[in-house]
Structure 1
């Protein structure tokens, strides 16, 4: 057998082995604030078509989950992820978008290294112990004031806080600018129809994670370089990541570049 034929055969074997290993794991896709499982309507079918196991879930108070958002807590988010993960045979890969970076971090700490194969942060809040979404957002604004002042003002214009202070909604017309500037009219229409109230408590809740568990689970960060919500490039420099992958999209690549996003997911 010629040398090049042997090399080709070995490369094919390695690819097949990698696919088989990933195929035995289930990707759990977790949406960000104001969103739901509907965010992944292009991604899940694409992953399934390629032979991967992937499910998208609604956190309490989001999507088809009818829990009153006024009573939703960070603990309820984490427990939902754990419940879903524990129903699945074998290991899981937790993928968290935006706000859900803190959710998958806490869930991974409690599920443990034998259950969670890796963590994937999609333009998400990547915390250290004792940090929250609100704390990380505030830190970024303070660290990069010149670059984020405009984004901060625009983002703030989109938020409408309920009189009791327990929930916030987001104006669809501002979401088009902040979240979906490179998305199709159809995707924007779907988002406008499905954006929901966001509980405030989970945004301020801090994670309690350890080096012995959370610190030992491989982490991968996907940075959306064209995002207009908040520049998160600082975050993966503060917590060890196996790899940081950049994708030139808005904060919503699951809409604008789903095939490229799936390619990234399945290459990690």
Structure 2
């Protein structure tokens, strides 16, 4: 479960890596601020993407109708990279679906993909019922169960699928930040935005893309996660085994707040394999 030890000397000798961070529902690039800062202080590059309708992206999330539309800022970024540059993608929660979809489009631009308590489903495969159900609940696709967690906006009328969703205020602390510092929880409550519900249908139906199997994948499990339970994270790892697997034992769903230093260390350890 825990990755091999990597010496501090080896980490210091790592060539500069460019980490690109993909947020989950209702979050934005802002949620990675601690980890991004640590990586920059360690001599690496860090870019935090705001997907469409998230963070400081000005798009109304109710107008984002597909996963491709939602992922446009990430896809634009990857498409504009220099020909000889590759990046390490790091995703959180349902952002794992966005990252996987972008990997399928730009496999030559990705040197490694890291899933932090994130949806990791092999493109073109059938999602097991128990995993599909929790992904649908967490993404608002099973409305009867999801409405216990989420408040919905029906921009196309109540007879149609919701256009956006945001976690109910009374659930935020327990589901997102149960182990995180109170100041980060307080910050997050001022920055969380409704997420484009219609986009998330695409995370369980990404078409097959054989090239993605050539990209080393890393999974980082959150040990005290109240939203994405341990057995479901283990199920994903078993169905599409990654090259490396780490455990953040005291992390809630938001490892970037609850265990940022260990997450930083693990990212460097994972990336060091690219230099070996």
Q: 1:123 aligns with which of 117, 122, 128?
A: 117
The Cα RMSD (Å) is 2.6
Is 1:57 the counterpart of 2:49 in the alignment?
Answer: yes
CA distance in 1, matches of 2:8, 2:236: 36
> What corresponds to 2:140 in structure 1?
none
CA contact (8 A) 2:53 2:70 kept: no
* SS of match in other structure, 1:261: helix
* SS of match in other structure, 1:83: helix
> What corresponds to 2:102 in structure 1?
107
> What corresponds to 2:28 in structure 1?
36
CA distance in 2, matches of 1:55, 1:141: 26
CA distance in 2, matches of 1:64, 1:141: 26
* SS of match in other structure, 1:39: helix
Query: Relative to structure 1, is the Cα distance of residues 134 and 233 closer, same or farther in structure 2, using a 3 angstrom cutoff?
Result: closer
Unaligned runs of 5+ in 1: 1-10, 143-152
CA distance in 2, matches of 1:67, 1:130: 30
Is 1:78 the counterpart of 2:78 in the alignment?
Answer: no
Quote the offset at 1:238 in angstroms: 0.6
TM-superposition CA deviations, 1:59-90 (whole Å, max 9, x none): 00001001111121210233321211233341
Is 1:207 the counterpart of 2:206 in the alignment?
Answer: yes
CA distance in 2, matches of 1:156, 1:162: 11
CA contact (8 A) 2:51 2:72 kept: no
Query: Relative to structure 1, is the Cα distance of residues 154 and 210 closer, same or farther in structure 2, using a 3 angstrom cutoff?
Result: closer
Quote the offset at 1:140 in angstroms: 5.1
> What corresponds to 1:4 in structure 2?
none
> What corresponds to 2:258 in structure 1?
256
Quote the offset at 1:251 in angstroms: 0.4
> What corresponds to 2:247 in structure 1?
246
Is 1:216 the counterpart of 2:214 in the alignment?
Answer: yes
Is 1:157 the counterpart of 2:148 in the alignment?
Answer: yes
Q: Which moved more, 1:133-142 or 1:229-238?
A: 133-142
Query: Relative to structure 1, is the Cα distance of residues 159 and 12 closer, same or farther in structure 2, using a 3 angstrom cutoff?
Result: closer
* SS of match in other structure, 1:60: coil
CA distance in 2, matches of 1:68, 1:134: 33
CA distance in 2, matches of 1:66, 1:12: 41
* SS of match in other structure, 2:75: helix
Q: Normalising by structure 2, what TM-score? A: 0.80
> What corresponds to 1:188 in structure 2?
185
Quote the offset at 1:139 in angstroms: 4.4
Query: Relative to structure 1, is the Cα distance of residues 141 and 50 closer, same or farther in structure 2, using a 3 angstrom cutoff?
Result: closer
Is 1:228 the counterpart of 2:226 in the alignment?
Answer: yes
CA distance in 2, matches of 1:15, 1:251: 27
* SS of match in other structure, 1:118: strand
TM-superposition CA deviations, 1:10-67 (whole Å, max 9, x none): x8885554x11xx1x3110010001001111111111100111111111000010011
Aligned length: 243
CA distance in 1, matches of 2:57, 2:263: 26
